[in-house]
Structure 1
Amino acid sequence: MITLHHCHQTRSMRTLWLLHELDVEFQLRVRPFDRSLRDPEYLSLNPAGRVPALEIDGEVIWETGAITEVLCERFADRGLGRPPGDIDRPDFLVWLHFAETISQHAAALTQQHIVIYEDAMRSPTVMKIEAKRLEKCFAAIEARLSTPLENRDYLLTSGFSAADISVGQAVYMARHFARLDPFPEVARWYAQITERETFANALPPAGAELLYDREFYPPWPE
């Protein structure tokens, strides 16, 4: 049995999306995004006190990139990974782990805008720098999708993969702090992959407590 420990609108959403895309049976344990993640019971699953934690085959895995690689290998017949020797394997790994680069900037902005409650503790400089770094990440995706060969539908030449899921979920978080409008190919690609039913299934259900209470947080102060 597979069990995913998950908080809405966090990195664990990319694992949830992937599980839906793989179409495998799993249990979902939704946890509050609070200090309970530091409880000894949960720290025995993820010693970093974060989500996700994935229980599978008697083991626990707790880094999203590692989880994605293990699941793609475990369910190789689903075609969402690219095995060693595949021509797209290097690009698959690059984009799979680039998702974490995007997420670290989005996480810094989440802390500044949401986790820190007092304006005096926030840094306008950090907010502006991290938002610009997200734009640089979007520019890297834009360049990939605008190759001379063609406007790619997906990040890999061979088609949709878990790399699109990982980067797509990172963009889902990052777009709260950097707009997609200046990046038309990213916006087109993002719209396409988020039309998938599996993405909708990974979204917080109606009435769930959300991490983000607005669609966009502009750099502060303007």
Structure 2
Amino acid sequence: MIRLHHIPGSRSDRILWLLEELGLEYELRTWSLTDGSLRTPEFRDLSPAGRIPALEIDGRAIFESGAIVQYLTEREGRLAPKSGETERADFLEWVSFAETQAYQLQALNIHHVFLRPEAARSVPHMKLDTMRLAVTAKALERHLQDREYILKSGFSAADCMFGFNLYATFRFLHETDFPNFAAYRDRMMARPGYAAVKASGENPLYTRDFYELPDG
């Protein structure tokens, strides 16, 4: 039995999408970011830092989405280049790059959504993190100008690693500035496997389609 611990619109979107693409049967347990349940001993036994996702599989729990992606693709022998193959280094690079971008999204979530009152926010830091997110989006924009997927060989789990990013990036950046990236988002979200991500629910933290930078 495989059980994914999940919050809609979070990094666990990556794993939910990948499980669907691999055609694996699983159980979904949904948690909340705001009710304190991630800090309970029950969840900390699964993920020591109290972070989503955690995956129960093969008699153990695995945390950290990049590690879960590598474990699942190696276990199933699909959706990732094997060691020694030409695109293996590219795959590993972009799996890690997805988390680099996600870190900037997390910082902007803190600025725009979590910090209260608004006076507690640092506008210079918000601008800096938005600029850093834009740097990652520009890298993807260049990378995707001559391909449909992250790897030239086709769809892979590296694409799944951008599952959370696809949902969140254009809350803070204008998609018209990144047409290749936006088109990639639309292609990925149109995949049948991504339907389970949509069906799992909306991230309750976002109350706006777009978050403008404050003046200052």
TM-score under structure 2 normalisation? 0.94
Pair 209,140 (structure 1): closer, same or farther in 2 beyond 3 Å = closer
In structure 1, the partner of 2:184 is: 189
Shift of 1:41: 1.0
Shift of 1:200: 2.1
Partners of 1:202 and 1:11 lie apart in 2 by 11
Partners of 2:18 and 2:205 lie apart in 1 by 21
Indicate the SS of the match to 1:200: helix
Instruction: Letter of the 1:32 partner, please give it.
Output: S
Cα-to-partner distance string for 1:67-102 (whole Å, 9 max, x where unaligned) = 0000111111xx311110111101000011111001
Partners of 1:198 and 1:33 lie apart in 2 by 25
Partners of 1:157 and 1:209 lie apart in 2 by 31
Shift of 1:201: 1.2
Partners of 2:189 and 2:160 lie apart in 1 by 9
In structure 1, the partner of 2:84 is: 85
In structure 1, the partner of 2:161 is: 166
Partners of 1:220 and 1:191 lie apart in 2 by 28
- The list of structure 1 runs, each at least 4 consecutive aligned residues, that deviate by more than 4 angstroms after superposition, is none
Partners of 2:182 and 2:203 lie apart in 1 by 27
Is 1:11 paired with 2:16? no
Instruction: Letter of the 2:8 partner, please give it.
Output: H
Instruction: Letter of the 2:191 partner, please give it.
Output: R
Is 1:26 paired with 2:26? yes
Partners of 2:144 and 2:150 lie apart in 1 by 7
Partners of 2:138 and 2:122 lie apart in 1 by 25
In structure 2, the partner of 1:139 is: 138
Indicate the SS of the match to 1:187: helix
Pair 155,131 (structure 1): closer, same or farther in 2 beyond 3 Å = same
Gaps of 5+ in 2: none
Partners of 1:66 and 1:13 lie apart in 2 by 14
Cα-to-partner distance string for 1:203-222 (whole Å, 9 max, x where unaligned) = 2546x661212211111237
Partners of 2:58 and 2:143 lie apart in 1 by 36
Give the RMSD, CA atoms, in angstroms. 1.5
- The more displaced of 191-200 and 169-178 is 169-178
Shift of 1:169: 2.9
Does structure 1 retain, via aligned residues, the 8 Å contact 2:7–2:203? no
Indicate the SS of the match to 2:18: helix
Aligned length: 215
Cα-to-partner distance string for 1:128-158 (whole Å, 9 max, x where unaligned) = 1111111100111111123xxxx21111111
Gaps of 5+ in 1: none
Instruction: Letter of the 1:141 partner, please give it.
Output: L
In structure 2, the partner of 1:102 is: 101
After superposition, residues 38-187 of structure 1 pair within 5 angstroms as 38-76=39-77, 79-146=78-145, 151-187=146-182
Shift of 1:61: 0.8
Does structure 2 retain, via aligned residues, the 8 Å contact 1:98–1:167? no
Indicate the SS of the match to 2:176: coil
In structure 1, the partner of 2:209 is: 215
Indicate the SS of the match to 1:181: helix
Does structure 2 retain, via aligned residues, the 8 Å contact 1:91–1:156? yes
Partners of 1:194 and 1:204 lie apart in 2 by 12
Partners of 1:55 and 1:86 lie apart in 2 by 29
